[in-house]
Amino acid sequence: MQNNTALKINFNKKFYKLPSIKNAIRDFQNVCKGSVKELERYFLVTLAPKSKSPQDNLGHEFSNYVLALMKNEVLV
């Protein structure tokens, strides 16, 4: 999941939606630079933190944020 600088997270296509992931990347743009790549079963998200300080929970926070966005989209 974690590289030296960039984080890689595999989001299962069956559970996570691409628009929510893209929105999350856009919302996190002040903290990290993100990109998404579509694989066969997963969306591979790469997050490169902008600051040099270690951000242990960035991946966790990002995946939580995607889940929250998905829930909100269902509500709307």
Residues making contact with another protein (CB under 8 A): 10, 12, 14-16, 57, 60-61, 63-64, 67-68, 70-71, 74
Whichever of 5 and 15 has its CB closer to another protein, that residue is 15
Whichever of 39 and 68 has its CB closer to another protein, that residue is 68
- CA separation for the pair 76, 1 (Å, rounded): 32
CB neighbour list of residue 36: distance below 8 Å, 6 or more residues apart: 18, 21, 22, 25, 43, 44, 45, 46
CB of 28 to another protein, least distance (A): 15
CB of 70 to another protein, least distance (A): 7
CB of 54 to another protein, least distance (A): 14
- Tokens (6 digits) for 59: 């991946």
Q: Is the dihedral of CA 26, 28, 30, 36 positive or negative?
A: negative
